[in-house]
Structure 1
Amino acid sequence: MRTLPDGALMDRAATGLAHAVLDFLGGGYGRRVLLLVGAGDNGGDALYAGVLLRRRGVVVDVLLLGSRHHEAGLEALLVAGGSVLESLEGPPPDVAVDGIVGIGGRPGLTPGAAAALASLDGIPVVSVDVPSGVGVDTGEVDGPHVVADVTITFGTHKVAHLVDPAAAACGAVHLVDIGLTLPEASVESLQPADVTRLLPRPGGEAHKYTRGVVGIRAGSPTYPGAALLCVAGASCGLVGMVRYAGPDAVADQVRLIHPEVVGPGRVQAWVVGPGGGEHAGAELASALTDEVPVVIDADALAHVVGPVGIPCVLTPHAGELAAMLGCAREEIEARPLEHARAAAVRFEAVVLLKGRRTLIARPDGLVRVTTTGVPWLATAGAGDVLAGLIGALLAAGLSPWDAASAGSWVHGAAATEASAGGPLVAGDVAHAVGGVLRSLL
């Protein structure tokens, strides 16, 4: 970065921002854009973008928020024909550009900025880098903040773009490459090529045992469907064999629907908990005696009170993690990144915290965020499918970190494929997993 000419990064950012605003508007001439400008470089980006918009025939007005602003940017915009507003009376803009607070700002907004946003209710907002007022490095929100339709960010995604609740305020996020040299990230999101690299592939000498055997301890007479869905997730073709070791009454149903599934025996990984009910604790204790990696889900999570002593993946939703950590569900939902990391340390395990943006945390603080999936995925049994899929990846030889990350990504992609924009049930997700895997491999 230091070798670039002075102002080069801001010039690149402003150019990317201006083009994004033009794309959002569907053109430039005669359109009205309002720049909400505070102190810092985000305000400068907005002002210089305004200069470029003026050259395309856009009417550009500026509302200055706070006592400081980017003086050179403001002067350039005024020379280009932009105007500074004293109030928001007059014709409404077609879009407001949020350059109020930069990535160094604290969560929340000043009363003046909050009032300005309230008066623009219903006007689309394009945010510069991040929606002003969100926690950039935590993904948290605290007080008033911008809810953007589009966020234009530069160089790399920030935590706020990936982690809820801040991510929900970003709208569609578009990344503009401005030539930054970036450090290693502690929060990342897998892309399709990353998942392809992680997925196991059988070699020419492979047989069903070398490809991995996953065992399923799930279901009960009360919840037989959980076993069927978990087995469906595990029976994705990534391992050579699936063994079912649940109740006999459920085993008959499993064999009827999945004739390729066999009975108890040696495994390379266990999945324990979906639909297990009152027997989940005993099933977990039995699985742990094999000293192979284990996915601990649903009812079995209540029996995890500390480190289990073997490699494992814990897969709670917010309510389950709240019970495990002894706090309120609302606390988990307000600060999911903080709590997922805390749980990974406390239980010395990979923790997959389910949500709109699922988080996969490991004890050293590294986190992956799953950005695949659709709202329709919030349906009963979907977590059972996910647990089985992760178990298969564990049995195939992936680490708990990679198995949880890749499994969650594929699960979300399968839901998107199965949904096609409409409702789905958990079985639809399981059936779509194979197609997603084929497209990746």
Structure 2
Amino acid sequence: MPKLIIHRDTEKIGGSVVELISNNGTRILIDAGLPLLEDDGSMLDFNKYKSKSVKELIDLGIIPYVDGLYKDFDKDIVSKNKSDIDGILISHAHRDHYGLIQYIKEDLKYYLTEATHKLIDITTLFSDSKIEIDNYQHINSGQPFTIKDFKITPNFMDHSGFDSQAFLIEADGKNLVYSGDFRGHGRKNSLEYFFRNLPEKIDGLIMEGSNIGNENKTEKPEARLEAEIEKVLAEPGLVLFTASGQNIDRIISFYRAARKTERIFLIDFYTASILDIIKDYAEIPYPSSKFSDVKVYYPEFLTDKVFNMNQEELAYKFSDYKMGKEEIVAKRNKILMLVRNSTVHDLNKISDLDKDIFKNISFIYSRWPEYLEKGKFKNLQNFIDENNMKFHKIYTSGHADIKTSAKVVDELKPAKLFPIHTLNPEEYNQFNADVKKLENGEVYEL
């Protein structure tokens, strides 16, 4: 494994693309993500770039140039490498780790867990992206597989994205660990398992550092969030919250708090679809007779979208657990309801039935604070303000705090530490390791 190239994400959060090239020329990529932020630090709205060609996106710096990766690309560009890419590893189902797939050649092969594959498929169905993974091999945590010269062992990591994987990669007498996104304060203590399944000598560690730079911040465990949510739910009246439907730990925290306070857990049918997938891989609540306190509502925007795509079967799947607007009004005092920016239209229709239903109630925000600060939830924020809601921010990061990052470095003792997925690569020098900060696209000989 003589060559490492971090094509993107050495000094930003989001858009990971890492390449490894063996002595014999075998090439693999680890993740293929779209960026989260513009160069000025603002949230990237990819909709304004959707009509751009691959060449234009490369010229704008939105996606990196990687030889042999893209379909419909300018054939006049001189090839830097002789061989095509032999495999693409996907660590988890967050768009900043897989969103580039829509531009990638169809014949390239992906290696990802079955749950990650299904989550990407369902997210694609509900969004406007054009992502299809037809050439693939499903992988399992702890079970090694090979891609020509490379031996790769996935390792489960706790993260806000379900079934996230780190990778131990071995070739040419060298090894490298790619941490993927991880943390140590979720509901699953994966780090000790991770440490036990690695060799004593680590030649290189590519470690994400989303929270590096927040030196005084210690992330709260998910169990503490559950207690904070429960305290809000003890107050009378309807309670609204927003959280990612794919953040299963967070969904469980809200559900458990709702159950303890004897509230109905009301989710939109996108989130219901996510839980219906995850139930095959983990013990979680989902719409069913087994969890009679989980109900589903159908936002007009999502419902119309699914019907327009001839996916009626998906829409009807949860009809036995449907809660309509009139029932929401009638049972308002016993409901915890998941909402999102796109459901404000539906909330306004509910308020047409009772203009005071959302007045002075509690709202819980449980997403990345940057989204709020950079205006991604403007419609929802306006709705909260107009109804004078009591705003609660109950959140913990899907990424490791500085103490957990330091623990990983101390345990692995890598010969080289490579920053990735971070705004503060220079802060890696505080760790007990030889840090090599690569530039995007730089070729490094291991």
Structure 1 and Structure 2 fold alike (TM over 0.5): no
Q: TM-score, normalised by structure 2?
A: 0.25
Q: TM-score, normalised by structure 1?
A: 0.25
Of structures 1 and 2, the larger Rg is shown by: 1
If each structure's helix is expressed as a fraction of its own residues, which one has the higher value? Answer: 1
Higher RCO by CA contacts (8 Å cutoff, separation 6 or greater): 2
If each structure's strand is expressed as a fraction of its own residues, which one has the higher value? Answer: 2
